[in-house]
Amino acid sequence: MIAVPGKAILCGEYAVLWGAPAISTAVSRQVHADVVDGESESPFVRAALTYAREYIDSVGGRSNAKSVKIDSSALYENGTKLGLGSSAAVTVATVAALYRDAGLELSDKNQIFSLAHAAHSDAQGTRGSGVDVATSIWGGTIRFTPQKSGQPVIAPVTLPPALDVTFVFTGKSASTAAQVDKIEELAQRDSALHLRLISRLTELATMFSRALELSDVATMLRTTNEYSDGMAALGNAAGVDIVTSELKTIHEIARKHNGAGKPSGAGGGDLGITLSPHEKTDAMRAELTRAGLTPLTIGASAPGMRWETI
């Protein structure tokens, strides 16, 4: 059975679509997949099957699988998606399951990324950066840097041991595609304003990435909080609620406890993340719970796509 982790973006949302580096981590909840007979209703599974079969045929491989059975329930809470990249993980799991069935190596990560990224974009109806797909494949925590042409540059990074990462569910789901569409409308309507706001996010994403390399905790915390402010400004300009009241509360509670908080992903709901010093984490999580939010019991830097023997 194929196991593929979900993801959470720590920094770089929106700006990554214009070339900025993004830092993303694989979480300790997985999608599971295995080949089966029958058909799937998921557009992500159908798109992934199409791309994977075409590639497998082109290299002289053979898969007898008619479809793939997916269990993505770990990335949901009471039937509501948590914002952990479920569609990307499902797409990767489908490609990987057919790869395995055809006798191809899962170590061929760059090719699996190309197939899954293309399939995910088709099914979603918009071409994202691919950071969610890459995180599910490589696992751990990665720096994802898009390139104008060709594959992105993907490098493993290590989170500072002095900081705890907490994933917080806001209680409501959001559509990533709808959020991104609103930002693209802003780019068409007022390109100068869009450029200024994205440039600020790019500056902060670059600063966060460099601070992570140096284990500069103070700069990581500061830029995380400033990134949340930058996402709010972008949303205000585009007329879309990126930093909702719940995400603002996460941000404010984290700052109160000497930490940092922001949306993880496109915002509008779904997931928030906090970074906090060890000695402040328990009190911060307790206050988040009292505020009606849900700190999730999941970890960061989980293993990537792999085959599991039951």
Dump pLDDT digits (tens) for 265-285.
999 989 999 999 999 999 999
Q: What would be the CATH architecture of the domain defined by 163-295?
A: 2-Layer Sandwich (3.30)
CATH class of 2-158+301-307: alpha beta
pTM (two decimals): 0.95
Domain ranges of the chain: 2-158+301-307, 163-295
pLDDT at 78: 83
| H helix runs in 78-215, sequence order | 86-101, 109-124, 131-138, 176-189, 191-213
pLDDT at 19: 95
pLDDT at 220: 98
Q: Is 132 helix (H, G, I), strand (E, B) or coil?
A: helix
pLDDT at 150: 82
Who wins on pLDDT, 241 or 77? 241
67-71 vs 141-145, strand pairing mode: unpaired
Among all chains, which residue has been given the structure tokens 């007329």? Answer: 239
- At 187, the amino acid letter reads A
pLDDT tens by residue, 145-197: 999 888 999 999 999 999 999 999 999 888 888 888 899 999 999 999 999 99
**In the structure, what pLDDT confidence band is assigned to residue 62 with cuts at 50, 70 and 90?**
confident
Give CA–CA dist 32/294, Å, rounded. Answer: 24
Residue 41 vs residues 44, 101, 257, 290: alpha-carbon distances, Å: 9, 21, 45, 39
Mean pLDDT, the chain, whole residue set: 95
**In the structure, what pLDDT confidence band is assigned to residue 310 with cuts at 50, 70 and 90?**
low
Q: Is 10 helix (H, G, I), strand (E, B) or coil?
A: strand
Average pLDDT over residues 245-268: 97
- Nearest of 271, 246, 272, 270 to residue 259 by alpha carbon: 272
Query: For 151, which DSSP code?
Result: P
- Nearest of 89, 35, 91 to residue 62 by alpha carbon: 35
Signed CA dihedral, 82, 303, 145, 277: sign only: positive
Residue 218 clears pLDDT 90, i.e. is over it: yes
Average pLDDT over residues 230-246: 96
306-307 vs 271-277, strand pairing mode: unpaired
Give CA–CA dist 219/208, Å, rounded. Answer: 7
pLDDT tens by residue, 221-231: 999 999 999 99
pLDDT > 70 fraction of the chain, expressed in percent and rounded? 100
- Nearest of 177, 174, 5 to residue 80 by alpha carbon: 174
Among all chains, which residue has been given the structure tokens 């720096």? Answer: 143
Residue 39 clears pLDDT 90, i.e. is over it: no
Contacts of range 145-152, beta carbons closer than 8 Å, 24 or more positions apart: 145/19, 145/21, 145/22, 146/16, 146/17, 146/19, 146/20, 148/19, 151/110, 151/113, 151/114
Among all chains, which residue has been given the structure tokens 């600063």? Answer: 207
Give CA–CA dist 262/168, Å, rounded. Answer: 10
H or E, element range at 216? none
Contact 98, 56 (CB under 8 A): yes
pLDDT at 176: 84
Q: Is 121 helix (H, G, I), strand (E, B) or coil?
A: helix
Who wins on pLDDT, 126 or 237? 237
Give CA–CA dist 26/31, Å, rounded. Answer: 12
pLDDT at 270: 92
Residue 88 clears pLDDT 70, i.e. is over it: yes
Q: Is 172 helix (H, G, I), strand (E, B) or coil?
A: coil
